């Protein structure tokens, strides 16, 4: 069970705090609030800051009072209120911070408005910091509870997407940094698509790359084709790979990039094969002959090896691969049937909310993510939508 820490001043925000406490408890979170310490007589600076820094979600609620300031000493050299100390602890620990500000324009009881000049200045600076970090305004306990629930839902979705690794505060400057593990192999989220990288065709053992895609236990859905500096892939090799992957693997798509991972586009395997067959029908004829010439094998790996060897032998009867191959260029790829150059661009200027909406709005099954033109990852849009829905239930 994930933990939510609610931080606020005491008497003035009691009803607001209780509304959030009750709402999040019903959502099956373990909620820690000020009342827990009062009941146990345990509200020390050390205990509160420890809980704030170890929670899963920090909920900060700031009204018109600065609050109690613990004695000056090693735990409070800056003479901050305990509410601010809790916030600072959560920030230092990179907790996911959800911030809420009482609207300063609403009527508010005079006894709950700060009148100490020193505290007033500290409160002003504290509220300004909350505002700069996208704090949501609230007016009533019910409105605050609804905002807190919605923020928790969104935070869970952002964590699922991987934009914010668990524990990274949304108040940090680069909210979209540290976004993904190494191309989907980290296993942190099911929405990251496993990519199998295949380098150039001219100087590699293509059979080994195809075998990896066929028998790989990761069950890669997308094969990532590195086009290098332009003259790296032959039509003969790409057709053979697309055909074998369609027939003997779980792969469904190809994503293409060039030097420095520069993103070119994506296409389904069926469209890659369809385009190559349209322009080079002899390649498909040779592939079909290769399959029919091979004896059935119980082991898929052995079957693929036999097909590749037979295909090479058949190519030799036409003067070898050199006589039939053509280099695949960026220009030719862009004209292929079903080839998509669309991607969702990652930027520090985009909020996690904006990025999440953009990915979910894409019509394609898999969504490439790029940063500064380079391929960063591929997201399974349907899996992401499922994760978002489950987090909201």
Domains of the chain, earliest start first: 3-161 (3.40.50.10140), 182-392 (3.10.580.10)
Task: Tokens for 209, please give them.
Answer: 């790359």
Beta strand pairing status for 96-102 and 344-345?
A: unpaired
pLDDT of residue 109: 95
pLDDT of residue 228: 76
pLDDT of residue 168: 28
pLDDT of residue 354: 78
pLDDT of residue 385: 79
Q: Are 233 and 195 in contact (CB under 8 A)?
A: no
In total, the chain counts a number of residues equal to: 393
pLDDT of residue 64: 96
Tally of CB atoms within 10 A around 110: 7
Beta strand pairing status for 263-268 and 253-257?
A: antiparallel
pLDDT of residue 180: 30
Task: Tokens for 83, please give them.
Answer: 């509410």
Smallest Cα–Cα separation from 214: which of 106, 111, 323, 303?
Answer: 303
3-state secondary structure of 241: helix
d(CA 161, CA 164): 8
Burial category of 211 from C-beta neighbours within 10 Å (exposed 0-12, middle 13-18, buried 19 and up): buried
Tally of CB atoms within 10 A around 386: 14
Listed as ranges, residues in the chain with pLDDT below 50 are 39-41, 163-190, 202-204, 217-218
d(CA 28, CA 1): 7
Smallest Cα–Cα separation from 225: which of 362, 365, 335, 375?
Answer: 375
pLDDT digits (tens, 9 = 90+) for 337-373: 899 999 999 876 776 677 888 888 888 889 999 988 9
Any idea which residue has 């987090």 for tokens?
A: 391
d(CA 91, CA 85): 10
Smallest Cα–Cα separation from 222: which of 202, 201, 198?
Answer: 198
Residues 6+ apart with CB under 8 A from 233: 200, 201, 202, 225, 227, 327, 328
Task: Tokens for 329, please give them.
Answer: 């260029």
pLDDT of residue 230: 64
Tally of CB atoms within 10 A around 334: 11
């Amino acid at each position: 069970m994930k933990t939510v820490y609610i931080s606020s001043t005491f008497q003035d925000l009691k009803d607001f705090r209780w509304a959030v406490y009750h709402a999040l408890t019903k959502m099956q979170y373990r909620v820690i609030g000020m009342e827990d310490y009062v009941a146990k007589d345990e509200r020390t600076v050390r205990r509160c800051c420890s809980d704030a820094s170890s929670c899963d979600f920090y909920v900060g609620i700031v009204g018109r009072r600065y609050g109690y300031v613990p004695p000056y000493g090693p735990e409070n050299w800056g003479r901050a209120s305990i509410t601010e100390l809790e916030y600072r602890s959560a920030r230092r620990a990179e907790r996911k911070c959800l911030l809420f500000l009482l609207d300063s324009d609403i009527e508010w009881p005079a006894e709950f408005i700060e009148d100490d000049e020193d505290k007033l200045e500290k409160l002003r600076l504290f509220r300004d910091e909350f505002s700069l970090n996208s704090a949501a305004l609230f007016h009533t306990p019910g409105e605050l509870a609804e905002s807190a629930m919605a923020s928790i839902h969104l935070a869970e979705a952002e964590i699922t997407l991987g934009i914010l690794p668990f524990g990274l505060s949304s108040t940090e400057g680069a909210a979209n940094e540290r976004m993904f593990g190494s191309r989907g192999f980290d296993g942190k989220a099911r929405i990251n698509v496993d990519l199998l990288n295949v380098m150039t065709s001219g100087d590699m053992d293509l059979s080994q790359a195809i075998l990896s895609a066929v028998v790989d236990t990761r069950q890669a859905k997308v094969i990532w084709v590195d086009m290098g500096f332009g003259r790296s892939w032959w039509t003969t090799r790409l057709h053979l790979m697309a055909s074998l992957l369609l027939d003997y693997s779980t792969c469904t798509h190809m994503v293409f990039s060039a030097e420095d991972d520069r993103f070119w586009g994506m296409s389904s395997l069926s469209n890659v094969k369809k385009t190559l067959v349209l322009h080079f029908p002899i390649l498909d004829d040779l592939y079909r002959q290769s399959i029919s010439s091979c004896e059935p094998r119980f082991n898929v790996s052995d079957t693929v090896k036999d097909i590749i060897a037979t295909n090479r032998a058949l190519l030799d009867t036409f003067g070898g691969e050199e006589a039939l191959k053509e280099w695949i260029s960026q220009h030719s790829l862009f004209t292929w049937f079903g080839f998509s150059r669309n991607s969702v661009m990652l930027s520090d200027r985009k909020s996690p909310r904006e990025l999440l909406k953009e990915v979910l709005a894409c019509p394609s099954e898999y969504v490439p993510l790029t940063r500064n033109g380079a391929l960063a990852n591929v997201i399974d849009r349907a899996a992401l939508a499922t994760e978002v829905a489950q987090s909201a239930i």
